[in-house]
Amino acid sequence: MNPFNTETEKQYFYLDKCKEHVIELARQLGRTPTACVTTFGCQMNARDSEKLVGILQQVGYQVIEEETADFVIFNTCTVRDNANQKVYGRLGKLKSTKRKIPHMKVALCGCMMQEPSAIEKIRKSYSFVNLVFGTHNIFKFAELLYGTFVQDRMLVDVWEDTDQIVEDLPCTRKYPFKSGINIMFGCNNFCSYCIVPYVRGRERSREPKDILAEIKALVADGVVEVMLLGQNVNSYGKTLSTPMTFAQLLTEIEKIEGLKRIRFMTSHPKDLSEELIQVMKASNKICKHLHLPLQSGSTRILEAMNRRYTKEQYLALAKHIKEEIPDIALTTDIIVGFPGETSEDIDETIDVIKQVGYENAFTFIYSKRTGTPAAAMPNQVSEEWVKTEFERVLKTVQETARLTVGKYEGTSQEVLVEEINEQDSTLVSGRMSNNTIVHFKGDASLIGTLVDVYLDECHGFYYMGHRI
């Protein structure tokens, strides 16, 4: 019989049990035990890591950045193979570190852990790992952490899928003034190159009342900007008992007093509605930035990718968005080297880049992911060809972005100050509504505030300016 009324109640029970073990560990060490969370991957992984950090701090760990901590956890990504290889490389280093720190515990979680082949390799080659869990049961972290205290063997708890959403647990934000918010999980699109639907599961949306309550609590705690997160936010609401569109959710969020900025990602072009465009157009809070992944400008390749739109449809959508919201910044994702791709297909992609005029584009070399339809396709392209074509695409992105971003030079823009500049401590760095980075003279007292900045000079993807 389950003695707990809710999953949250159960996890808080294990939080208290973990506290007891951390107190005992502190007594043995003669100091506060330390923990390190290393994040690989996207904004959703970063948000998950904030939850892990929140629980670790709640049970008594001091969170540090060094991977020589008493508890080290890697929150993994598996979108591209090099992400997996990075994890294996870091695990190799940890193996020797753990020999010097025998009481160290090592945990792995995230998307990579949803792959059976990865689990098999970890069991075989990295048997010193204490805990492995996936994307679907991250809310069980306190319970799983307790398991590492009471047993010596590797604990593996990976679920194939779930319909559970458990969000009301400890969480420590990286920034006090802005926060990511999960509004949905999973993906139903099954693009032929993408492993995400297999490791994140099917789409499931959070209840709007829970999202609104979380944002209101964050605003009361000093948050001025939220980033709504989902693999495809345009699909939000389809799994709810009372359906709600993403545009309708945005309209409700905008009503929250004290909230200054609303961002979101990622949007799939095939699901971007006229309703959403009009809500963005009328809004004073939704940032003038839309990330609209293209992946390829070739209709032939888009069809092979199972993207479900053509080059012409994408261009028409981008043109319409810019007509309706002239000051919007469009950014995108592009894959180079998809199976069967030719230089003529790359020409089509370059044509779209030039026509749309992106502020930025995240350009990736195609990564073969076992288990996806694209991995079994014939005509996998050569590395030499990919390198040449990737450079062509990257050069075009840089040239067009410099022109597009540069149009704001000599204007005044509102900037949310985020941090002291890493290269020059006399400068602060922040973002405009359209997500362009701005550096200007300032000090730590400005962090988390919105200030007007005159943009003196454009340097490609960022600006140097001065406060007005």
Pairing of strands 204-205, 184-185: antiparallel
Query: CA 47, CA 39: separation in Å to the nearest integer?
Result: 10
pLDDT digits (tens, 9 = 90+) for 37-76: 999 988 888 999 999 999 999 999 999 999 999 999 999 9
Query: CA 56, CA 58: separation in Å to the nearest integer?
Result: 5
Backbone angles phi, psi at 210, to 5 degrees: -70, -40
CB atoms within 10 A of CB 459: 12
Q: What does the block give as tokens for 54?
A: 């929140």
Q: Is the pLDDT of residue 354 over 60?
A: yes
pLDDT digits (tens, 9 = 90+) for 368-395: 888 899 999 989 999 999 999 999 999 9
pLDDT digits (tens, 9 = 90+) for 7-47: 999 999 999 999 999 999 999 999 999 999 999 988 888 99
* Average per-residue pLDDT for the chain: 94
Q: What pLDDT does 195 receive?
A: 87
Q: What pLDDT does 415 receive?
A: 98
Residue 309: pLDDT band (50, 70, 90) is very high
Q: Is the pLDDT of residue 1 over 80?
A: no
Percentage, residues of the chain above pLDDT 70 = 100
pLDDT digits (tens, 9 = 90+) for 417-440: 999 999 999 999 999 999 999 999
- Residue burial 163-180, b: 16+ Cβ < 10 Å; e: rest: eeeebebbbbbebebbbb
Q: What does the block give as tokens for 401?
A: 């972005």
Q: Are 148 and 131 in contact (CB under 8 A)?
A: yes
Backbone angles phi, psi at 103, to 5 degrees: -80, -5
Q: Is the pLDDT of residue 148 over 80?
A: yes
Burial degree of 429 (CB within 10 A; 0-12, 13-18, 19+):
buried
Query: CA 403, CA 359: separation in Å to the nearest integer?
Result: 9
Q: What is the pTM (predicted TM-score) of this model?
A: 0.86
